[in-house]
Each structure stands twice: as C-alpha cells, then as structure tokens.
Copies of this chain bind each other. A is one copy, B any other.
Amino acid sequence: MTTIREVAKKAGVSVATVSRVINQNGYVKDSTFEKVQEAIKELNYRPSAIAVSLNNKKTKTIGLILPDITNPFFPELAKAVEEVANNYGYTMILCNSSGTVKNEIDQIELLQSKYVDGIILASDSFVEKDYKDVNLPMVLLDRGANPKNSSIRVNNFYGGVLATEHLLEQGCIKIAHLAGPKHVFTGQQRLEGYRSVVESMKWFDEKLVAYANYQLDDAITATKELLNKNKGIDGIFAGNDLMAIGCIKAIHSFGLSVPEDIAVIGFDGISLTNMIIPELSTIKQPIYEMGKEATNQIIKEIEGNHKESRDIEFDVTLIQRESTNRKRRPGLEDGATFKDNGNR
C-alpha cells in the first residue's frame, strides 16, 4: 500500500501539501495541485481510512444490532439502514444479539472499541439500565422510550386495536390473541390494544390469550393449545406475521380452513405475507421507512453539533387480504375459493 509520504516524494512536495490536495482545504497553487494529483493517480494512492480515523475519531461506520437477521422483519430493515448509510458514505456493521441482553451489551462494547460512530439498536428487551455508559449516539428501534436516546417505533397499541376491530368487522364473534413474549415491548403493546377492544365483550376470557416467542414453531404449538382449550374461536390476531403463519398451519392441521372457519391476521407486513396461500392480512409497519429514518437520525446525531434526541412514531396500516376475507364477493358461493381466472 502506498503512503502519503511516497506520494509527497514523487510529487516533490511535503506531506502537508498532499494532505491539502486530498482534502481540498488550505491554499495550494494550481500547478502544485496538478502535480500531486498526478502522483496520486500514478501510484494508485488511497488514504488509509484507519490513519484518518485515528486523527478525527470518526470511522464512518455505524453498527446495527438486531436479534436475528433470519427473522424476516429484519432484512428489510437492514437493507434500509445499509442503503441510507452508504449514501452518506458510511458502512454498516451487522450484529446478531440473539435477543439476549448479555449479547447485546457485549456487542455494544465491541462496537464501541471498534469506534463505530453510532449504533442502531433494534432489539426488543426492556432493560436499559445496563447501557448507562454508552456515550456514543444510539437510536432505539421498537423499544420502550428512553429520555437519553432517540427512538423509532410504530403505534403498536393502535395496531392491536386495528387488527382486532378488523376481525370484528369481518363478523368474528370470538377472537383469540397469540401474543409475543411477555418481556418484549412491542408484544405487550399489541396485546393491550387487543385487550382494550375485547375486554368488555361478554365472550372475552383470559384463556383467549396465548403467548409465543414470535417464532413459527412456537406459534403452531400455542395455537393448537388455544384451539383445544377454547371452543368456537373464529378469529385470531397473531402478534406478528411469522406467528400468523404458524396459526394458519395449526388451523389446517385441525382440518379447518382460513378464513372460512377461522380468520387470521398478523402484524408487521413482511413480504412473506403475500407469498403464502392464503395471502395474509396484516398490520403493516413501514419497515423500510423506519430503517431509513433511524439511519438519518443517527447520522444527524453523529454529524450534528446539537444532539437533540427525538421520538418518532410511524403509523401502521391495515392490509386486508384473503386470510380475513369472510365477506364473500357477491356471486360466489360461500366456502368457494377465490380464483383469478387467468387467461387460459
């Protein structure tokens, strides 16, 4: 690798001048500028990002910590972060925390010692007391608010309301909720949304709430149990899309069908939802937007002099698809399956 001193020698100037040419600051005579540029080109010189970082204490790198990149919610987020970061000349280090607080803390330590300029923490545990000595910009995604850090999230409570009311509108008269883990912020909020709608209804019963860990397999087990313990369930609001898919699989395993026997709605709006059959109704979060905004915010905090932290709440939207479509279109027999009649 060529160094700035070699360039200086070749161009017959000092390293200071070369540095000025590279950063286009300070006074440099036109003819000198040319000479240096030429030397740079000839030697195929690129300044060492490390040496630069050692001076200005910026690495142009941000860390993204998330529970598990294989959870379909996160790739879209990661993509947004990476793209926006790249646009601003930053690169992104990705860390899977597996959702445990210990890993999260380790990852934060590691990122700090690698001198990332900021961290986006998209993990979901509640704990925050342990991050006390993180003194670099950090934005929180999908977590409880915190006076010190900016946070990005959606109105999970309202989403829960929306999902539940949608099932009611579709004529469901006994609606269960498959909630996310108890210690997870988003899961709690969505559950509260559901509860606020149904708790006054006469059919409501605490047994209609089950918990699972936001994963498919766990959701299948939990749904089977739910259906065994309760008679007459005709709608399920699942805490996320992955679990909604688990619901559907469990329902099918009982010989029932979706949405005819039981309508199912998820939460998140991952792209998976329109890949499965039946296509899944869901409460959509603007995932890409959230990642984009988180990245904008972290970069603003890194580069801005004033570090005003902000709380940004995005809206969720109901996406209605087949899995909750119980009001059949006129002209179709009840129970018939929809078909696009292609052009064959």
Which A residues fall within an 8 A CB radius of B?
Answer: 44, 46-51, 53-54, 59, 61, 68-70, 72, 74-76, 78-79, 82-83, 86, 91-96, 109-115, 133, 216, 224, 227-228, 242, 245, 248-250, 252-255, 271-272, 275-277, 339-344
Cβ distance A167 to chain B, nearest Cβ, rounded Å: 21
**Which single member of B114, B254, B339 contacts A49 (CB below 8 Å)?**
B114
Q: Are B91 and A92 in contact (CB under 8 A)?
A: no
* Chain B residues closer than 8 Å to A86, beta-carbon distance: 95
**Which single member of B72, B112, B340 contacts A72 (CB below 8 Å)?**
B72
Cα A109 to Cα B115 in complex, Å, equals: 21
Q: From A114, which residue of chain B is reached at the shortest CB distance?
A: B49
Q: Are A253 and B54 in contact (CB under 8 A)?
A: no
With A49-B115, A76-B70, A114-B91 given, is the CB distance from A277 to B252 under 8 Å?
Answer: yes
Cβ distance A275 to chain B, nearest Cβ, rounded Å: 5
* Chain B residues closer than 8 Å to A227, beta-carbon distance: 342, 344
Cβ distance A174 to chain B, nearest Cβ, rounded Å: 15
Q: Are B252 and A339 in contact (CB under 8 A)?
A: yes
Q: From A133, which residue of chain B is reached at the shortest CB distance?
A: B44
Q: From A258, which residue of chain B is reached at the shortest CB distance?
A: B277
Q: From A94, which residue of chain B is reached at the shortest CB distance?
A: B94
Q: From A76, which residue of chain B is reached at the shortest CB distance?
A: B70
Q: Are A253 and B340 in contact (CB under 8 A)?
A: yes
Given A48-B54, A69-B82, A74-B75, 7 further pairs, Cβ under 8 A: A79-B96, A93-B94, A242-B275, A249-B275, A249-B277, A252-B340, A254-B344
Query: A-B pairs with the 6 shortest C-beta distances?
Result: A253-B340, A254-B342, A94-B94, A69-B75, A255-B339, A70-B75
Cα A75 to Cα B71 in complex, Å, equals: 8
Q: Are B275 and A216 in contact (CB under 8 A)?
A: yes
21 contacts between A and B (CB under 8 A): A49-B115, A50-B59, A50-B115, A61-B114, A69-B78, A69-B82, A70-B75, A72-B75, A78-B94, A82-B96, A91-B110, A227-B344, A228-B343, A250-B342, A252-B339, A253-B340, A253-B342, A254-B341, A254-B342, A255-B342, A272-B275
* Chain B residues closer than 8 Å to A277, beta-carbon distance: 248-249, 252, 276-277
Most buried by B among A49, A61, A68, A255: A49
* Chain B residues closer than 8 Å to A115, beta-carbon distance: 48-50
Cα A248 to Cα B276 in complex, Å, equals: 10
Cα A54 to Cα B50 in complex, Å, equals: 6
* Chain B residues closer than 8 Å to A70, beta-carbon distance: 75-76, 79, 271
Q: Are A342 and B224 in contact (CB under 8 A)?
A: yes
Cα A342 to Cα B250 in complex, Å, equals: 8
